[in-house]
Structure 1
Amino acid sequence: MEKGAYSNLRLQTALKKNHLKGPEAHLLTELVYGTLRKYKYLVWIISRLSSHPVKKIHPAVRILLCIGLYQLIYLSRIPESAAVNETVKIAKKITHPGNVRFINGVLRNFLRKKEQFELPKRESNPLLYDELFYNMPGWLVQKWQKELGPEKTDLILKAFNEVP
């Protein structure tokens, strides 16, 4: 998400710099790797909630939105209000008030409409489903399906999505 950065190296630096251990370190690790694992789906949701094209949203704002959405969708132990409030609190430290309001609005809009954001059915749009569910570019899924067949491609996609 940040050009030229390796997530594992950036994460280790952040953990050391901020002296995070135990549950705090586990949460940060889950947020980083979980957001990366579900990035395409999270960006798809942002594209459906925002009137701005996703590519025109500042990268820091897009990343904060993804982290906030990841918490709201996948981390059941974090209350929704805490996920929104903490994301907004971070936004206040790193961006301007207009972006803070935008982040707050998008996350709250998601909470109002969250039932509308199920993945498309695989039967109706298999390529979009694979892109969003497995976080893989469509062109790569198509290439694998053409060269390896649908069964092997499914196995590969599932393997890439396993938590190490």
Structure 2
Amino acid sequence: MRRFFLILCLLCAMPVFAVEPDEVLSDPALETRARELSKGLRCLVCKNESIDESNAPLARDLRILLRDRLTAGDSDDQAIAFIVERYGEFVLLRPTVTGSNWLLWAAGPLMLLLAGGIGFFYLRGRSNLDEQALDELSDDEKRRLDDLLNTDR
């Protein structure tokens, strides 16, 4: 019973491809190219799935469009460029770092550096304030503070 459950879990964890038999090209080389290209294109309905994995009707239309472009003689870059021109760069699962989205690529590291700098200067200034406050105490106050900190409860 445990083996059956393990096999069932493994089968459920395997990727499921949504390419239907009527979409498959007769030329195996073209079909391989189409599969590789469709893994890099985003389903506009599912957002985080490739069109190769999605069962959405729009993903099916994109798969058919991609195969039509490849059978028409387009290169891989030409077919992708055609789809990007029609649907925008959002259709790419790995968008380029050029154009207007360079700021999105740089925003994460820049925010991390900015937060680290703010934290560093905040903590550095705070420790200077603690030392200044300690210097401003009288001898009697310092002695009382030491007594309070060193007493065992």
Shorter-chain TM-score range:
under 0.3
TM-score (norm 2): 0.26
Q: Which has the larger radius of gyration?
A: 2
Higher relative contact order (CA 8 A, sep 6+): 1
- Of Structure 1 and Structure 2, the greater helix share is in 1
